[in-house]
Structure 1
Amino acid sequence: MRTHQLVLQWIEDQLSSGELTLGGRLPAERSLAEQLHVSRTSVREAIRVMEAMGVVRAGVGSGPDAGTVVIADPTAALGSALRLHVATSHLPVKDIVETRVLLESWAASRAHPDAPALAEAASLLEQMENCSGTEEFLALDVRFHLALADAAGNAVVSAMMGSLREAIQAYAGRITGSLPDWDATAARLRAEHRGILAAIKDGDGGSASQLVADHIEGYYAEAGLGAGA
């Protein structure tokens, strides 16, 4: 095992045992290096890895923000990895779309009609009615779908959807040029959004789930990205 992996293993063990908790601070770099009999370079490398994973936040200098603090941002590593793999074509757009349908239809079927996230979704719908430009619409659209996922109350699903956010917005934007009439498409998407939100608020999870699946697949089918594309 490489020395920085020893540091990572120690941090994981401390988190698992409860010795380190959310908001807790890691020992100083020199102290941790001496404790684990590794170099300070190995400690710094391990902390950089953990920071990229969204597990810690490293502060410099002195004062209340100094030191390395345990945080919880599970979308950080997932989002970075997914964006890189999509960019290198290791994850085909088709597979991302299918994953969206899987996650979002499940979330819609279990979304709580009184979830606070639905108020945010309704506000985003209003903004979509008045926005100008494709890029702004798609950014609001992604936030709308994330709010629906949050309404299901499943932290893992919310984290996975959050990690997909930028990838979804990027490839949704790339295919707009293939749409025959963006204004007509935007109007249809807004109407479908309203239908999905209404079904969830009415407690009809089955209908909401099917509406979400049809909504996602319909957008890509209209742009010529069928099931095998």
Structure 2
Amino acid sequence: MLLESSVAGELAERGSADLTDARQLLDAMDDTALTAQEFLALDAQFHLALAEAAGNTVVATTMAGLRSSIEGYVLAGAARIPEWEVMAARLRAEHRGVIDAIDAGDPTAARTRIHDHISGYYRDAHTLSTDAR
């Protein structure tokens, strides 16, 4: 969360980053026929695209290296979510909210939105897992 919050804030502060790749990934995630696995693969690419847009190769490389570990945890969480379509719609809206904050040049909102997006998914996936026991 620290890396991604930093990336989102930096992009918003800069205000001139090319977010074309991130936007294309968001558009691809709008396909409601995607499986959870397909959606989450695009989601991971979206987060990496933000890091790459920030231009910090150390952060982007670190995130790329962590990607498979994070993706495994995220996929395991998706398996515990009974209404995946509802979750996917929420995640899409949160992604767009992050981009909106970056576009608005609001680093505080960008950091908060990416933090809340990531922590919210983990919280909900964990809570659903705990409730299912």
Q: Distance in 2 between matches of 1:164 and 1:113?
A: 27
**One-letter code aligned to 1:200:** I
Q: CA deviation at 1:120?
A: 0.5
The answer for unaligned runs of 5 or more in structure 2 is: 128-133
Could you say which residue in structure 1 is the equivalent of 2:4?
104
Instruction: Describe the SS at the equivalent of 1:179.
Output: coil
Q: CA deviation at 1:168?
A: 1.4
Could you say which residue in structure 2 is the equivalent of 1:163?
65
Could you say which residue in structure 1 is the equivalent of 2:109?
207
Q: Deviations over 1:83-128 (max 9, x none)?
A: xxxxxxxxxxxxxxxxxx0100011100143322x11000000000
Which structure 2 residues correspond to residues 1-229 of structure 1 after superposition, within 5 A? 101-111=1-11, 112-116=14-18, 118-130=19-31, 131-224=33-126
Quote the RMSD (CA, aligned, Å): 1.5
Could you say which residue in structure 2 is the equivalent of 1:82?
none
Q: Distance in 2 between matches of 1:189 and 1:113?
A: 23
Q: Distance in 2 between matches of 1:208 and 1:108?
A: 5
- How much identity, in percent, do the aligned residues show? 47
Q: CA deviation at 1:180?
A: 3.2
The answer for unaligned runs of 5 or more in structure 1 is: 1-100
Q: Distance in 2 between matches of 1:120 and 1:113?
A: 16
**One-letter code aligned to 1:157:** V
Could you say which residue in structure 1 is the equivalent of 2:130?
none
Q: Deviations over 1:133-177 (max 9, x none)?
A: 111100000000011112222111111011111111111111212
Relative to total residues, which structure has the larger helix share, 1 or 2?
Answer: 2
